[in-house]
Structure 1
Amino acid sequence: MHHSSIRTPRGSRAKRKKTQGLNLREKLLMCFVFFLFVWVTIGPFGLWRLHRLKTERDNLIAQQVQFAKHNQLLQEKIKILKEDKKAQEELVRSELGWVRDNELLYLFHNEK
């Protein structure tokens, strides 16, 4: 018998190549998917940056709440100072060290 008389079906050679390994198109697709995953995860607009931005936003919101509270206290203080002469005098005396006419102020320094 001649070896040439024995023939294999046409598709068997292609199937044998596929089972041996990935073809170039599949390798390129896998590389593309891998790099796409890396880009989405740690790229300039990736999930890691998104997490950092959310943390920064939360910190800024907390800071804004603190500023709003401080602002409210200052507005209340301004209102009191506008309406109450005694509060004005106390502030001027304590903050600026002012005294009334014919008044003496004694300052004592703690010496250790």
Structure 2
Amino acid sequence: MNTKKSVLLAFIILAIFSLLLFIIFGENGLADLHLLKIERDNLSKQNAELAKQNLDLYREIVRLKSDPKYLESVARKELGVVGKDELIFKLKDQRKGEN
């Protein structure tokens, strides 16, 4: 009788241990849950950064549409646009020939 109880107890302990291993390390277990939480947090941070960039770009568009002087300054700086009566002087760098 004691051996039957011992075998049954060992089987129950083995079953519980196997179940715990499966819960922790199995597919969709606690380890996967932890990794998914880390990934969710990273995606939330990326989403917040993209939302900020989106808002900044929206504000830039509104400013370009509503402020002609700002539009002109951006066109000059980024596109090299020159006014109607303006001249561009390109100077050679004197330091290139000196050694």
Relative to the length of structure 2, the TM-score reads: 0.79
SS in 2 for 1:69: helix
Deviation at 1:43, TM superposition (A): 1.2
SS in 1 for 2:39: helix
Aligned to 2:46: 63
Deviation at 1:40, TM superposition (A): 0.6
Deviation at 1:65, TM superposition (A): 1.1
Match 1:47 to one of 30, 41, 46: 30
**Structure 2 Cα separation of the partners of residues 64 and 76 of structure 1:** 18
Distance of aligned partners of 1:107 and 1:42 in 2 relative to their CA distance in 1, 3 Å threshold: farther
RMSD of aligned Cα (Å)? 2.3
| Gap runs ≥5 in structure 1 | 1-13
Aligned to 2:61: 78
**Structure 2 Cα separation of the partners of residues 109 and 45 of structure 1:** 66
Q: Write the deviation string for residues 52-108 of structure 1: whole angstroms up to 9, x where unpaired.
A: 111111111111111111111111111111111111111111111111233233456
Quick check: which has more Rg, 1 or 2? 1
Amino acid at match of 1:68: A
| Gap runs ≥5 in structure 2 | none
Structure of greater relative contact order (alpha carbons < 8 Å, 6+ residues apart)? 2
**Structure 1 Cα separation of the partners of residues 92 and 30 of structure 2:** 59
Relative to the length of structure 1, the TM-score reads: 0.71
